[in-house]
A = this chain, B = another copy of it.
């Protein structure tokens, strides 16, 4: 039987031993992991959830008494050919072969099926899905822009020396863009950390040196008793952070929350887009 968790542990070991995020071996491991996750979830029953989010339907996978996190019906495409085509695009760096929507859906399917498999096998484990999501986004980002990430930066000036632990930093090299890429399965009230770290980078290295790009999975929350699904969004607070702490260049979601779409249209604008768009606009972001 397919066991995505064993494949996940192997991938983690390889990355800790220094295997490069953008390497073919990580690509291969993620592809196998995606196939395992799809096979595993395909063997589980589905349970319809009551979506309180306008225009979105959700279900969960079920195994015994366990229930997975909510899965967006329209974005989940458990078709092995679709997922294989997505991985082919990644290998060849030929993303224009797919539309932004197709890229978002394939990536959502890979991410959420692994997370669901973990939900069904281990109660209350948030760390494994979060770490897997970092591996996946780290690989895709590295592959797309052609450089490997680092996970901490030296904050050096004058007599001071400190290490700032960050999420991913991708450095395109001298006189080129550097990306600050926090990766979260969901943000909730912890999101202010992202803007605060951006502020530190702006302060230490100068405003505009690091482009802040937050990548998230979703903001859904399910009530286990009523099976209702809602999205937890704080658009007003995001605007305050964007105005007064730092400016993020992009916020990408695999399952973009409805209430954040509006932030693209009102001043001060925050660009919150489906993650598929990243693959198509990455060159423009850095230029």
Chain A residues at the B interface, C-beta cutoff of 8 Å: 155, 160, 162-165, 190, 192-193, 195-197, 199-200, 202-204, 236-237, 239-241, 243-245
Contacts and interface: CB of A to CB of B under 8 A. Distances in A.
B193 A244 contact: no
Given A190-B190, A245-B203, A164 B240 contact: yes
Contacts of A203: 243-245
Contacts of A190: 190, 193
B240 A162 contact: yes
A46 B209 CA distance: 55
B192 A197 contact: yes
A239 B196 contact: no
Contacts of A163: 236
A244 B199 contact: yes
A155 B238 CA distance: 12
A255 to B, nearest CB: 25
A197 B237 CA distance: 11
A155 B240 contact: yes
Contact of A245 (B165, B199, B243): B199
A200 B240 contact: yes
Contacts of A240: 155, 162, 164, 200, 204
A245 B200 contact: yes
A190 B191 CA distance: 10
Nearest to A160: B239
A199 B196 contact: yes
Given A192-B193, A192-B196, A204 B236 contact: no
A237 B154 CA distance: 11
Contacts of A193: 190, 192-193, 196
A239 B196 CA distance: 14
Taking each of A196, A199, A200, which has the highest tally of chain B beta carbons within 10 Å of its own beta carbon? A196
Contacts of A197: 192
A245 B190 CA distance: 16
B195 A236 contact: no
11 contacts: A162-B240, A163-B236, A164-B240, A196-B196, A196-B199, A196-B241, A196-B245, A200-B241, A200-B245, A202-B244, A203-B243
A162 B164 CA distance: 31
A234 to B, nearest CB: 9
A182 to B, nearest CB: 12
